[in-house]
Structure 1
Amino acid sequence: MFIHNQSRSMKKMFFVSALGLISFSAFSQDAVNKAMVDQLRKDKEKSDKGVSDPKASAKASFWMDRATTYSSIASQSSELDSSAAKTAFESYKKAAELDPKKAKDAQKFLTGEDPSLFNAFVRQGAEKYQNKNLAGALEMFQMAQQVNAKDTLASLYGGIAAQQIDKKEEAKTQFEKYAENGGKDPSVFYGLAQLYRAENNFDKAVATLNKGLERSPNNKDLKSEVVNILLASGKEDQAIAELTNLTKSDPTNVQNIVNLGILYDNMNTKLGTKIKEIQGKIGGGASKTADLTKKLEAEKGKIEIYDGEIKRISGLIKKAPKPDLKRQLADVTAKKKESTDAIVAIQGEIKAAEEASKGNDNAALEKELADLKAKKTTANNEAITAYKKVLEIDAANYDALYNLGVFYFNEAVELKREVDNMSMTDYQAKGKEVEGRVCGRFKKAKPYFEKAIQVKDEAEAKENLATVNNVLEQFAGKQVACTEE
């Protein structure tokens, strides 16, 4: 029932980042001087021939010129070579290797001191991204980071490209670099947390969200997702604490209050189940043994009756061996056999029940039961308080209306179960009083379902309302007075 914002935030991340990529590469080719393109083509052809010329390729100046040519292609005319930035990078490295004097000039580009090579990689990565060559885009963004390891732009785009081709480990690496380098976009932290959550690394997911909150303290998506992940990891108490803080910092955020009510509501249900388990352990052995003993005595009583019948019919057969009397004797003998077998089975069950109850520490179970009941009372009250607080802010909130209706409906069902399990003596003593409370709970649920249906015509609310109306009609027919507390 808890609300997730995953799909919205993930779309936001890709949408915002894709805009960045488009804006980075959206230089109109019309604006590029045709003569410049022609010149770059000639320079490229000359440089490519020079690579196979032993004299030219032995000079560092040749490789510096080649790096400049290919860097210009990457920045201004990628149609000549969509991976020109890589050639520029390798050429700068070659120049540095050949001549220590040129190394200093080359290193300015290789380390990002001069940003032109870095920008060339990002530009060509963006172009590959737009052309759906995501693997090629990722490679360009990774190389851009070799040039400038402290920049956030390439790691951001690299993470997006990696994620879209399902390279989850690389996506995590890229987004982590983005965070380490001071990136602030909350949607990146959200997306990174989702990657960790998908592999059940909940602690890392929460740590990532908290890091994002350090940089965007008021981001509601990050705060809500912390709660969601705590819930997914089974840390319900922590989730409630986080969500309670959210309701205090943003008291008019209805959804947060609804979600808090749902958390307490779910906790109330879980505690109720646990309480029944403990009660079963405490009273299970004794009560089960008692019930089985009653069954055992009943079967033994049947044996006495069957023995009497067998004796009586056998006497009649001696006097007059009629076929009908023989059939009666066979029937009674068969029934006695059934009871004899039942006695053996019940005795085995009694022994098993007695053995099972020996291992129970009833004192410890009683203490645990008391603690659970106290927690259930708190959860019960907090759920109702949260839902009613929502209705104070938004009287037409479907979730709060429907959930309150379900809350009182379930309470009625629990009380009805109590009536159904009563012995005749108990029912005569207090059955009518409890039935009045059952009726009162159903009556209390009714207006919430009615208002919920007015807000949203949902089948679930209509079905529950129909059940409530049917039950109330039955109580009216039995002339049960509804007791509302």
Structure 2
Amino acid sequence: MKKLFFASALSLFSLASFAQDAAKEDPAAKLLVDGFRKDKEKSDKDVTDPKSSAKAAFWMERAKLYENIASQASQVDSSAAKTAYEAYKKVVELDKTKKGEPGKSAKEAQTSLDGGEGTNLFNAFVRQGAEKYQAKNLAGALEMFTIAQEINKKDTLASLYGGIAAQQLDKKDIARDQFEKYATNGGKDPSVFYGLAQLYRAENNFDKAIETLNKGLTQSPNNKDLKAEIVNILLASGKEDQAIKELEALATADPKNTQNMVNLAILYDNMQRTAADSIKQIKVKMGTGTNASSSITKNIESEKGKIEVYDGEVKRIGALIKKQPKNADLKRQLSEVNAKKKESLAAITKMQGEITAAQEAAKGNDVAGMEKSLATLKAKQTEASGKAITNYKKVLEVDAANYDALFNLGVFYFNEAVLLKGEVDNMNMTEYQQRGKEIEGRVCGKFKKAKPYFEKAIQAKDEAEAKETLTTVNGVLEQFTSKGVACVDEP
């Protein structure tokens, strides 16, 4: 969107450049420029003359000369508008009646300073500001546009270009104020409202950003960029539910806009993934005591088995030593076995303490509360998953080659397969013998379901990410085939 209003700015600036180029080619224009140069030299000299510089008439003549230079021959003085501005103020200062009231010239000068009807000082500043912008003198351009606003406080042109110059100078506060003036004075360019909202967003002032976008929508009710940016800012501010409502409204209003549907599907997809992560964390917490105790108990049993072996070795080596009491190697072996037995006994003592600690930690868990949260999260995950798939498929009904929808659907089923495979990986031998093969078949089925989406995504757009993922899927399916696992297709 920023490119839109930069383009409109350049259209103004190019006109200024064209005028200057024309002056170089046209003999009559050159004559005019030469005349302005001579008049400028005389006026600049007279400024130092106490008699001339004390007269309001001199300053009025100087103001009009420099105003004309700024408007017609800026190459004579690129800041002529400022000189005209100061000269007009000098007229107001000097031209007083006997009663101390403004004289005729002072009133005329003040009218120019106020941008009155028929005056040209405002346009002179805008023109020279445009020329400075084109010459990449952004600070000079901003100064010109700022003074132009003082002359015509209700104008939108100077505030628009002043905001652009300030933004390029990275003077965000000034850019924001300039664009606010543009909006307040009735500016309608949606690009400005978009850019202003971005400035507020960068300050994390999300409410003001959305307010700005809504103002832009009152001027341009059907602008898709402004509507989409409202969704982005709602997401950035953590208002996911509100963002979904906005996107659903956009998708309903424009059912052919696949980007809205893709974004909506991604939101639901992210929602179900977040819920899945939370479910996993709660399950880990709920099983902390039991799982830890079970794992440690297995390790204790393993150490006890080692001690039985060590005891057997102690008896065997002890019997041999009785027969060969001077055998140093047998004594060394006995010492090593006793040392290992001691290590195992110490390990058992430590692990028994860990079991006690794990059980105590588990007592602090609000099991009932966690089970309630778990049920809520599972329902949310199921609903979000269904809506994500539905919206991805709606996109494909409109655009069967939509890369984002194809790739994300493939990822959706791929992730489901990975989660399910985690169940198999955590099984002990007994559990695997009971239901491992059945779950592996479902895992295989989900990988198989993901595969065609990645294939179609690659056909739509030759992206490395999709190709790499498809290679992974093919490798996993080959492993299942070699293990004799039959893929189970699920709806």
Report the TM-score when normalising by structure 2.
0.91
Question: Which of 431, 442, 446 is equivalent to 1:426?
Answer: 431
- What does residue 81 of structure 1 align with? 77
Q: What amino acid does structure 1 have at the position aligned with 2:115? A: G
Q: Does 1:107 align with 2:136?
A: no
Q: Does 1:465 align with 2:470?
A: yes
- What does residue 99 of structure 2 align with? none
- What does residue 318 of structure 1 align with? 322
Seen in structure 2, the aligned counterparts of structure 1 residues 31 and 234 have a Cα distance that, compared at 3 Å, is farther
Determine if contact 1:67/1:88 at 8 Å carries over to the other structure. Answer: yes
Please list every run of 5 or more consecutive structure 2 residues that lacks an aligned counterpart in the other structure. 97-101
**Whole-Å Cα distance in 1 between the matches of residues 455 and 37 of structure 2?**
76
Summarize deviations over 1:31-87 as a string: whole Å, max 9, x none.
864444344334323322332222222222222121111111111111221111111
Q: What amino acid does structure 1 have at the position aligned with 2:110? A: Q
Q: What amino acid does structure 1 have at the position aligned with 2:131? A: E
- What does residue 22 of structure 1 align with? 14
Q: Residue 462 of structure 1: CA displacement?
A: 2.6
Question: Which of 91, 94, 103 is equivalent to 1:95?
Answer: 91
Summarize deviations over 1:359-386 as a string: whole Å, max 9, x none.
3212111111111111111111111111
- What does residue 189 of structure 2 align with? 185
Q: Residue 297 of structure 1: CA displacement?
A: 4.2
Q: Residue 413 of structure 1: CA displacement?
A: 1.4
- What does residue 4 of structure 1 align with? none
1:39-438 matches, within 5 Å, as 39-98=35-94, 99=96, 100-101=102-103, 102-114=105-117, 115-307=119-311, 309-321=313-325, 322-438=327-443
**Whole-Å Cα distance in 1 between the matches of residues 68 and 461 of structure 2?**
61
Summarize deviations over 1:194-220 as a string: whole Å, max 9, x none.
233334333333332222222212111
Q: Residue 455 of structure 1: CA displacement?
A: 2.2
Summarize deviations over 1:246-289 as a string: whole Å, max 9, x none.
11111101122112212222222222111100111111122212
Seen in structure 2, the aligned counterparts of structure 1 residues 155 and 455 have a Cα distance that, compared at 3 Å, is same
- What does residue 454 of structure 2 align with? 449
Q: What RMSD over aligned residues (CA atoms) do the two structures have, in Å?
A: 2.1
Q: Residue 124 of structure 1: CA displacement?
A: 0.8
Query: What SS class does the counterpart of residue 287 from structure 2 fall into?
Result: helix
Determine if contact 2:16/2:131 at 8 Å carries over to the other structure. Answer: no
**Whole-Å Cα distance in 1 between the matches of residues 317 and 384 of structure 2?**
66
Summarize deviations over 1:112-163 as a string: whole Å, max 9, x none.
1144010111111111111121111111111101111111111111111112
Q: Residue 311 of structure 1: CA displacement?
A: 4.6
Q: What amino acid does structure 1 have at the position aligned with 2:357? A: A
Q: Residue 301 of structure 1: CA displacement?
A: 4.9
**Whole-Å Cα distance in 2 between the matches of residues 447 and 368 of structure 1?**
36
Seen in structure 2, the aligned counterparts of structure 1 residues 326 and 262 have a Cα distance that, compared at 3 Å, is same
**Whole-Å Cα distance in 2 between the matches of residues 376 and 31 of structure 1?**
78
Determine if contact 1:13/1:191 at 8 Å carries over to the other structure. Answer: no
**Whole-Å Cα distance in 2 between the matches of residues 358 and 182 of structure 1?**
65
Determine if contact 1:32/1:76 at 8 Å carries over to the other structure. Answer: no
- What does residue 12 of structure 1 align with? 4
Summarize deviations over 1:367-420 as a string: whole Å, max 9, x none.
111111111111111111111111111111122112111211111111111112
**Whole-Å Cα distance in 2 between the matches of residues 86 and 225 of structure 1?**
40
Query: What SS class does the counterpart of residue 26 from structure 1 fall into?
Result: helix
Identity %: 69
**Whole-Å Cα distance in 1 between the matches of residues 64 and 17 of structure 2?**
20
Q: Residue 25 of structure 1: CA displacement?
A: 5.6
Seen in structure 2, the aligned counterparts of structure 1 residues 97 and 397 have a Cα distance that, compared at 3 Å, is same
Query: What SS class does the counterpart of residue 188 from structure 2 fall into?
Result: coil
**Whole-Å Cα distance in 1 between the matches of residues 29 and 435 of structure 2?**
97
**Whole-Å Cα distance in 2 between the matches of residues 433 and 294 of structure 1?**
26
**Whole-Å Cα distance in 2 between the matches of residues 435 and 31 of structure 1?**
88
Seen in structure 2, the aligned counterparts of structure 1 residues 324 and 41 have a Cα distance that, compared at 3 Å, is closer
Deviates most, 199-208 or 88-97: 199-208
Q: What amino acid does structure 2 have at the position aligned with 1:479? A: G
Q: What amino acid does structure 2 have at the position aligned with 1:108? A: T
Please list every run of 5 or more consecutive structure 1 residues that lacks an aligned counterpart in the other structure. 1-8
**Whole-Å Cα distance in 2 between the matches of residues 331 and 42 of structure 1?**
110
**Whole-Å Cα distance in 2 between the matches of residues 261 and 440 of structure 1?**
23
- What does residue 481 of structure 1 align with? 486
Deviates most, 308-317 or 256-265: 308-317
**Whole-Å Cα distance in 2 between the matches of residues 32 and 395 of structure 1?**
64
Determine if contact 2:69/2:76 at 8 Å carries over to the other structure. Answer: yes
Q: What amino acid does structure 1 have at the position aligned with 2:40? A: K
